[in-house]
Structure 1
Amino acid sequence: MLNPQITAAAWLRAQPPADLSDPYEILAFMRQAMEDSNEAECGPALPLPVVADVDAGGVPARLYASRVDAPVFIYVHGGGWCYGSIETVDRACRRIADRSGCAVLSVGYRLAPEHVFPAALEDVETVVSYVRKVGAELGVDPSRLAIGGDSAGGQLATVVARRQRDAATPLDLQVLIYPAIDPMTASESYDEVGSYGLDRASMKVAWETYAPDPTTRFTPDVAPLAADLAGLPPTLIITAQYDALRDEGADYADALLAAGVPVVHTRYMGVNHGFARKLAVIDDARVATDQVASYLRAALTF
C-alpha cells in the first residue's frame, strides 16, 4: 500500500500549466518547482561546522563536514540529468555528513539538454580528481573516498566508479539510491507501479535528452549493465516499492553480486521514486538517509 505521507510531497503534485507548450518552458517550470518544494519537503537546514561552496576544478560543489581529516563521500544529485541541483539534496547531504562522520561533497554538474552526454559524467570525474589532488587542503582525507547518488545521479556515480576501477584508481564504496540503469526502460516495474511521480514515458524522455545519440545508450558509459562489473567497490543499493526504476535497481544489485561485488540491497516499501530527499514529510526518508550514513560510517571511518 502506498504510504499516505507520499501525497504530502508537493513535487509529486507539480504539473506545468496547460498553456505551457514549449518543452524548454516546461523544463524550466519543473526545475523551479523542484527548487520551490525544497523547504516544505526537506525541512530546515541542519547546521554543521563546515558548509562551504567550492570550485572543484571548474565544477560547482558544496562541502559538508563535521570534523577534519574525514573520509569523503562524493554525492551526485538526481533529476533525470535535466533538473535538480546542489540545493535539492542539501538537507540530505547535511544529514549524511552529520551522522556518518564523513565529509560530503555535493556535485553541481551540468544539466541536459543544454549540456548532453558526456558533460555530466566529465563533471563528476573532474570532482573526483579534484578531491584526490587537493583533499588535504580542504581538510578531508582523500585516501578514503566513496561515491553515490540518487536516480540519474546514481547512474553517474556507478559509471564513474567503474571508470575509476578501469583507471586503476578504485573508489572504496558506492551508494546508489533508486539508480537509473536501463536506457531501454524494459523493466516490468514500469508497467506494474503506474505513475507515482515517474513513468516510462518520462524516463524515455530523460534518457533521450541526456544521451540524444542512440548509439551511446548501448555503451557502458551510459548503460551500466553493459560493462564488466567485476572489481567494482562494495555497494549499497536502495530501491522503492512504487518506483518505475525498482526492478532495474534490483537487477543491477543481482548483476553486481554475480560479478563478486559485495552488495546490500534494501527495498523500502510503500514509497515512491524520489522519497529519500523528502526528510520533512516522509519518515522513511530519514531512515534511508541514516542507513546511508551508517553504511559509510561502518566502511570508511575508524
Structure 2
Amino acid sequence: MSKLADSIPPGVLAGALRFVFGLPAPLRKLIIGRPITLDGQRLHPEAQLLLRLQQISGEDWRTTTPAANRLALTRSNALVCGPVIDGVAVRSLTLDGVGAHAIGARFYEPTGLAAGSPLLVFYHGGGWVSGDLDSHDNLCRFLAVEGGVRVLAADYRLAPEHPFPAAADDARAAFEYAVSHASELGIDPRRIALGGDSAGGNLAAVTALHAGAVKPVFLLMFYPAVDASVRRRSRDLFGNGFFLTDEKMDWFLDHYAPSREAHTDPRLSVLLAEDLSGLPPTYLATAGFDPLRDEGEAFAEKLAEQGVPVVLRRYPGLFHGYANILGVGGVFREAVAEAVGSLRTGLALANTRQDIPETA
C-alpha cells in the first residue's frame, strides 16, 4: 500500500471513492482512459475505473509478508464493501475443530426468518493466507438478507502458520458442526449449502467432495481456485494489472502448499478428483479478466460431463474479487445478486429426503 493511502483514514478514502463513481460519465471516462479489450472481452467501465483509481493511489496489494498482506486486504475491502447491511442479527460462535483446535465463526440470521431455514456455510477468500470474518462480513450479510438464509462463516486457520491441509480440515469441521448442531442453529440439516469465493470456493468444493454421510445440497462458488497443478491460458492473459496477479498466485500457493506433491492432491486441486459425480447442484461464477477464469470453467465443464447440474456464469467485464465490491458502482452488486438468486432457487429445489443421523 502506498504511503499516501496509509496516511488517509479508510472512511475518508471510501467516501472519495464513492464520490468519483458518482461523477458524470464524461468525467469518469477521462479518468478511465481508453477502453481495455483483451481475449475478445471489454473490461467493464466500472471495473476499469476501480483499477485505475487503485493504480493512481499506488495501492497494489503487495505480497511482502503475510501480516502486511492481511492488513492490505482488510483496508482494500473496507474501501469497497459499502455501508454495513442491516436486517440481520450477527453473533460469534466457537466451533469444534480437529483435535483440541477450535474454529471461530460468525452466524448471520435475517430478521424474521423462521426456524428450520436452509443454511449457507461460507468460506472466505484470500489465498488461504489472508481474509477473515471481518473482511467478508458485508458479503455474508448480503447473502443472508437477500438469500433469505442463515449463514455460518468459518474463520479457518491460515497459512503459513497452518499450511495445507489445515484450512481444508477446518472447512470440513465447520460443515460437520452445522449438521450436528442444526437444532440449536435453527436450520434444516437436509438443506445446507456450501459457498465461498476464490480460496473459499476451493474449500467449499473440497468439503463437498469429502463430506460424510450427510451431503451439502448446493454449491455456490465465486471464481474458485481448483487446480494448482498446471498453468492455463487465462493466467498468462490476465496475470498482471487486474488485481489478482501471477506473482500473488505463486506467493499464496508457496505459503499454503509449499510441497509440490500437495499440488496434485484433490484436497487442494479438486479438479483432479476422478469422480465428481457426487457433488451437489452448483452455481459457479467466473470473471473474464481473472487468472483463475479457465480453471473454474474447466471445473464446471467436468461437473457437467459427470452429470452434476451446474450453472456456469462468466462475467466477461469483471475481475477477480468482485463479490466484495458491494459499495461502489452497480455491476459488481448485480453479479452477486444473480448468484444469490441461484442460491435461493437451488435451496428451494433441494431434496429434503436425505437421511440425517440421530445426533443431528
- 1:179 and 2:224 are equivalent in the alignment: yes
Letter in 2 for 1:89: H
In the alignment, residue 223 of structure 1 is paired with which amino acid? S
Same amino acid, percent of matched pairs: 37
Paired AA for residue 43 in structure 2: L
Question: In structure 2, the residue corresponding to 1:73 is in which secondary structure?
Answer: strand
> Which stretch shifts more, 133-142 or 242-251?
133-142
Structure 2 residue aligned with 1:36: 75
Matches within 5 A, 1:70-85: 70-85=117-132
| Displacement of 1:217 | 1.3
Give the counterpart of 2:106 among 62, 68, 81. 62
For 1:197, which of 235, 240, 243 is the aligned residue?
A: 243
Cα drift, residue 49 of structure 1: 3.8
Structure 1 segment 1-302 matched on structure 2, within 5 A: 1-6=42-47, 7-8=49-50, 14-15=59-60, 26-57=65-96, 58-66=102-110, 67=113, 68-164=115-211, 167-195=212-240, 196-227=242-273, 228-301=275-348
Alpha-carbon displacement from aligned partner over 1:139-170 (angstroms, at most 9, x marks no partner)? 22222100011111111110100001xx3322
Distance 1:257 1:38 in 2: 33
Separation of aligned partners in 2, 1:43 and 1:56: 29
Distance apart, 1:137 and its partner CA: 0.6
C-alpha contact (below 8 Å) 2:235/2:292 kept by paired residues = yes
TM-score between both structures, scaled by the size of structure 2? 0.77
Residue 205 of structure 1 and its aligned partner are, at CA, apart by 2.1
Give me the whole-angstrom Cα distance separating, in 2, the residues matched to 1:103 and 1:236: 18
Q: Which AA in structure 1 matches 2:87?
A: L
Higher mean displacement: 184-193 or 118-127 = 184-193
Asked whether the 8 Å contact 2:229–2:269 carries over to 1, the reply is no
Asked if structure 2 preserves the Cα contact closer than 8 Å seen for 1:155 and 1:224, the reply is yes
Superposition RMSD in Å: 1.9
Instruction: Provide the rounded CA distance (Å) in 2 between the counterparts of 1:161 and 1:237.
Output: 14
Report the AA paired with residue 50 of structure 2.
A
Whole-angstrom CA distance in 1 between matches of 2:125 and 2:187? 25
Where does structure 1 lack aligned partners over 5 or more consecutive residues? 18-22
- Note closer, same or farther for the CA distance 1:64–1:232 as it changes in structure 2 (3 Å cut): same
State how far apart, in whole Å, the 2-side matches of 1:246 and 1:299 are. 23
What whole-Å deviation, never above 9, does each CA across 1:91-118 have from its counterpart, x for those lacking one? Answer: 1111111111111111111110010011
In structure 2, how many angstroms separate the alpha carbons of the residues matched to 1:106 and 1:16? Answer: 24
Moved over 4 A (4+): 9-13
**Deviation sequence 1:14-60 (CA, Å, 0-9, x none):** 3468xxxxx7x532222112112333200111113421111122211
Report if aligned partners of 1:61, 1:107 keep a CA contact under 8 Å in 2: yes
How many residues align? The count is 294
Q: Which has the larger radius of gyration?
A: 2
TM-score under structure 1 length normalisation: 0.92
The code of the aligned residue for 1:60 comes to G
Higher mean C-alpha displacement, 48-57 vs 227-236: 48-57
**In 2, Cα distance between equivalents of 1:153 and 1:185:** 20
Letter aligned with residue 65 of structure 1: E
